[in-house]
């Protein structure tokens, strides 16, 4: 038979619930057959007790899907069981319904059921005390509390622990997700840093090799070829040495022999001499005090990449490099001849400008590069404050 759209389908009872219902029903029938009962009132015939037993067993099938309705109907069946010769199985199944109503019901039921059952147990106790006027009535109230309030309180305790465990699992999942995001960001940042270092280390040497090898191939003069080969060899050896240093840092940061220190502004003189050997007419003017290591490294790399770009893209003429302090920042300025041509003397990827801009941004500084009349000018302002300079050390 087809099910009408929009009408909810009842879920099948859980296997455990079916087992509880069958066990309760069969156990109650066995007790009734043996003549065992829990109530001496017998205001109703035993058949009513069997009816209450059957109803309570059927309600066990709804302990997960409709816990509040099952508890409400079970309360009526329990009253019917008390008026008839009582059955222990009926009472035990009712305690399970009270427990399930708190554990599987909505949050509002989890809060209200213990309160209602507690007040009901108190009302039963007071009622029997007034009726009997005997302290023995307290045991009746205690029994009512054990049947209703006790299971409800236990369900509330178990639910609290379950919710706490679920919240802990969610927090653990969120923490793991945040840790993974941090790891990915750290790996990405490290890859970008290594890419910048690798580019700055080898780009200048490879550009010089490409330019001088082109000159050696195009000019058929032994002296020029020999001079070009000397420059090519020097740049090859220096490039290999720089590559070995970087590979040593990446391969084993905890080796017994510490890798070579990162370049500082004290090495600008040697950098300029290398650029002059490669054919640039470089003039260096540096007036500054001691600067933080991250600022010094960034300034060195910016000058290095600017000289590499001047070698690849510039024309004949002087290249000026100036460094000085101004308004709490190290000002770096590199100016080289700007020649418009069809292409550079050596191929490039454009990563140099990106790397210089990234170095300045990591320190919270400024960077600009572009044509300035007949020259190409690179400008960078690197803050000298400790809170900004520390960013480049990461």
pLDDT value, residue 394: 38
Residue 145 is predicted with a pLDDT of 85
Which ranges of the chain have pLDDT less than 50? 1-3, 5-8, 255-259, 386-394
What is the number of structural domains in the chain? 3
Among 33, 105, 111, smallest CA distance to 71 is for: 105
246 with 269, same domain: the answer is: no
pLDDT in tens, 367-390: 998 888 888 899 999 998 744 444
Residue 292, sorted as left (phi over 0), alpha (psi -120 to 50) or beta, turns out to be beta
Provide the b/e sequence for 227-248 (b: ≥16 CB within 10 Å). ebeebbebbeebbeebeebbee
Query: Both 42 and 146 in a single domain?
Result: yes
Task: Supply the CATH number for residue 274's domain.
Answer: 3.30.565.10
Domain extent, residue 197, equals 188-254
d(CA 315, CA 307): 12
Whether residue 76 is found in the same domain as residue 95: yes
Whole-number pLDDT of residue 98: 93
**Do 130 and 46 reside in the same domain of the chain?**
yes
Residue with tokens 């290398």: 274
pLDDT score, position 196: 72
78 lies in the same domain as 127: yes
Query: Model-level pTM?
Result: 0.51
Cα 283 to Cα 288: distance, rounded to the nearest angstrom: 16
């Amino acid at each position: 038979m087809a099910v009408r759209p929009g009408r909810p389908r009842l879920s099948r009872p859980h296997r455990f619930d079916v087992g509880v219902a069958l066990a309760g029903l069969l156990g109650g029938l066995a007790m009734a057959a043996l003549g065992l009962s829990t109530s001496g009132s017998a205001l109703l015939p035993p058949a009513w007790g069997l009816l209450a037993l059957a109803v309570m067993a059927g309600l066990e099938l709804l302990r997960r899907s409709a816990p509040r309705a099952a508890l409400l109907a079970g309360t009526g069946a329990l009253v019917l069981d008390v008026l008839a010769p009582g059955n222990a199985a009926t009472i035990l199944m009712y305690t399970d319904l009270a427990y399930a109503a708190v554990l599987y019901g909505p949050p509002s039921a989890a809060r209200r059921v213990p309160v209602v059952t507690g007040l009901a147990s108190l009302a039963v106790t007071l009622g029997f005390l007034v009726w009997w006027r005997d302290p023995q009535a307290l045991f009746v109230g205690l029994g009512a509390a054990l049947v209703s309030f006790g299971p409800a309180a236990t369900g509330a305790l178990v639910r609290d622990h379950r919710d706490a465990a679920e919240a802990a699992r969610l927090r653990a999942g969120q923490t793991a997700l945040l840790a993974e995001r941090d790891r990915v960001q750290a790996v990405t940042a490290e890859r970008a840093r290594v890419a910048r270092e690798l580019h700055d280390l080898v780009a200048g040497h490879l550009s010089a090799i490409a330019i001088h090898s082109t000159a050696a191939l195009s000019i058929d003069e032994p002296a020029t070829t020999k001079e070009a080969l000397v420059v090519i060899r020097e740049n090859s050896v220096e490039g290999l040495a720089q590559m070995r240093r970087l590979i040593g840092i990446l391969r084993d940061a905890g080796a017994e022999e510490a890798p070579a220190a990162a370049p500082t502004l004290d090495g600008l003189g040697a950098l300029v001499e290398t650029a002059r050997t490669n054919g640039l007419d470089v003039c260096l003017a540096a007036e500054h005090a001691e600067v933080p290591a991250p600022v010094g490294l960034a300034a060195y790399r910016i000058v290095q990449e600017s000289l590499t770009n001047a070698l690849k893209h510039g024309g004949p003429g002087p290249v000026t490099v100036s460094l000085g302090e101004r308004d709490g920042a190290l000002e770096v300025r590199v100016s080289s001849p700007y020649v418009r041509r069809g292409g550079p003397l050596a191929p490039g990827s454009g990563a140099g400008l990106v790397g210089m801009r990234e170095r300045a941004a990591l320190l919270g500084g400024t960077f600009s590069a572009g044509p300035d009349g007949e020259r190409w000018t690179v400008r960078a302002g690197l803050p000298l404050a400790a809170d900004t300079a520390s960013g480049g050390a990461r």
